[in-house]
Amino acid sequence: MAITVPVFDTETLAGIRRGIEKESLRVSPSGVLSSKCHPARLGSALTHPSITTDFSESQLELITQTHSSVEDCISELTQIHKTVYENIEDELLWCSSMPCDLPSEEAIPIGIYGVSNIGRAKHVYRRGLSHRYGRRMQMISGIHYNFSIPENAWQILQKDVYSGTSIEELRNHFYFSLIRNFQREAWLLLYLFGGSPAVCKTYTEKKAHRLKNFKSGDMYLPEATSLRMGPLGYQSDVQSSIAVSYNTLNSYTRSLQAALTEPYPPYAYIGIKNGDNYNQLSTSLLQIENEFYSTIRPKRRIKPSERPLHALHNRGVEYVEIRAIDLDPYSELGISEDTIRFIDIFLLHCLLSDSPSDSPKELVDIHHNQHVVAEYGRDPNTKIFRGDNLQTIKQWGTEIIEKCFPIATALDSANQTDKYSAALEIANQIIGNPEYSISARVLKDIFNDHDQSFKNFTLHNSKKHKEKFKKLGYPSNIVSKDKRVAQKSFFRQRELEVESKTDFESYRKSYIDQTSSLEKSLKNMD
């Protein structure tokens, strides 16, 4: 089908939806990783709609609904934080992406979700992650940003421009166009909003690195933006063998399907079980789709016990999930309003720009660029690949920002504000002045105000954030509402446990074997 870049009307621009998932470690007032279970007063980590855990019992994940208003999204995230702070006693939320001083691998608690089959599967999956990558890496936290175009936009495009094309085809095409462009230019988000140029000394144990030492023993790179997104961060050398194509939904599905079905010898050696105890869900390169490390994912809401890849294959892309955003240690929410608005602008830029097909060589260059910007992004001499050429970050970044100004203006007009243009201007200033970036500010503060200690810096800001939320108050009507939601989540968890009639091994096999039916479906399309 012949597809041109769409032009969205005001209603569509005002209806863009975003939702935020924020991960944070629970720590003691002295900055020690919490050894306590997920607080019961926060409800069930398995079924609570807004508050769960990520890898560890000590790692909270706060989830908003999707909102067409930035202000409403911020308001909900604020309320979730208030609920958390009121129910974690004297503990704090660690405000940096890179973790606090960590105990031994074995002492890091893995998330527990009850005795239902789905709850056990979530725990076993995390146990598999611990065997494959180590627990310390899993303690890195960040922001996941969910973004979607309102459904009526695709209907309008179909009616007015692409009458011979299904809505699902249109959605898939444009979301994968967005994904390809995002991957090409996501390094800009690391440069602008990377907030992890330093790490606690315990994180680097038994890891090869080029970090420099603070006098405290903590470590950093002087021009780094986001160690989280670099070689020391949430990365997997093993997964680099997965040749994922983002050109079409089918090419993406085929790429991942192979990684989900083919046994990987080192993981086969670990085995599914050790006696009666499960080590992992499968012996393939990926246990499940969510194990694949990517800066962006096409997503579709799933039905109970449905594989995410099945949902995508059967019903197409519904939204995209951005995974390249560090926690902002200066924001009590982990992300500022200006950053949210810039991400909206940037994602629209990715969607509305021409998006050539990717190639294996380009994907290698994209990976290279990410790591270079993560470790050396604020060095003005740093150059990254742009096609067959090398270009400075300032040159390419300036060009991207200039292309974004009309989009910011359109979003301002659609939302009757001037905040999008203001957010873009802030980003424009950082392009020419890397000392204004979050990562530069972090290092400056560590050196000047916190005795060269990443731990002291993060602990100081974490305490400030908690104090700010405590001052906001916790009205009795909200207390009652939070208690009802928590109680309802435990009730739902118990329902799932009663409903789990099948033994876990049968459940596991049935879930994993879904990939076989997908493989057959893909072969039938050949």
Contact call for residues 239 and 380 (beta carbons, < 8 A): no
Confidence at residue 3, expressed as pLDDT on a 0 to 100 scale:
46
Cα-based distances in Å from 358 to 160, 190, 373, 390: 29, 21, 20, 18
Q: What is the CATH number of the domain that holds 283?
A: 3.30.590.20
Tokens 């009663």 — which residue? 498
Q: Tell me the residue ranges of DSSP E strands in 65-175.
A: 92-93, 143-148
- Confidence grade of residue 23 (pLDDT, cut at 50, 70, 90): very high
Residue 376 in tokens = 């050396």
Residue 10 lies in a domain: no
By mean pLDDT, which of 11-20, 156-165, 372-381, 388-397 is the weakest? 156-165
By mean pLDDT, which of 2-11, 329-338, 359-368, 383-392 is the weakest? 2-11
Name the nearest CA neighbour of 223 among 399, 432, 450, 444: 444
Tens of pLDDT, residues 191-211: 999 999 999 988 988 788 899
Tens of pLDDT, residues 209-265: 899 999 999 999 999 999 999 999 977 778 877 878 899 999 999 989 888 988 899
When the pLDDT of each residue in the chain is averaged and rounded to a whole number, the result is 93
Residue 222 main-chain phi, psi, to 5 deg: -65, -30
- Say whether pLDDT at 526 is over 60: no
Q: Which domain holds residue 204?
A: 17-477+498-524
Tens of pLDDT, residues 303-332: 887 889 989 999 999 999 999 999 999 999
Q: Which residues, including other chains, have CB under 8 Å from residue 163's CB and lie 6 or more apart?
A: none
Q: Where are the alpha helices (DSSP H) in 500-526?
A: 504-512, 514-524
Provide, rounded to the nearest whole percent, the portion of the chain with pLDDT above 70. Answer: 97
Residue 332 lies in a domain: yes
Instruction: Please state whether 204 falls in left (phi above 0), alpha (psi between -120 and 50) or beta.
Output: alpha
The per-residue DSSP string of 165-192 comes to S-HHHHHHHHHHHHHHHHHHHTHHHHHH
User: For strand 219-220 and strand 212-213, is the pairing parallel, antiparallel, or unpaired?
Assistant: antiparallel
CB neighbourhood size of 512 (10 A): 20
Residue 56 lies in a domain: yes
Residue 146 lies in a domain: yes
State the distance between the two ends of the chain, measured CA to CA, in whole angstroms.
19
Residue 373 lies in a domain: yes
Residue 489 lies in a domain: no
153 half-sphere exposure, CB direction, 13 A CA radius = 20
Tens of pLDDT, residues 426-455: 999 999 999 999 999 999 999 999 999 999
Residue 5 lies in a domain: no
Contact call for residues 198 and 454 (beta carbons, < 8 A): yes
Q: Taking the mean position of all CA atoms in its chain, how far away is CA 378? A: 23
Note the residue count of the chain.
526
- Say whether pLDDT at 525 is over 60: no
Residue 11 identity (one-letter amino acid): E
How far apart are alpha carbons 37 and 111 in whole angstroms?
A: 9
The domain total for the chain is 1
Residue 362 identity (one-letter amino acid): E
Residue 151 lies in a domain: yes
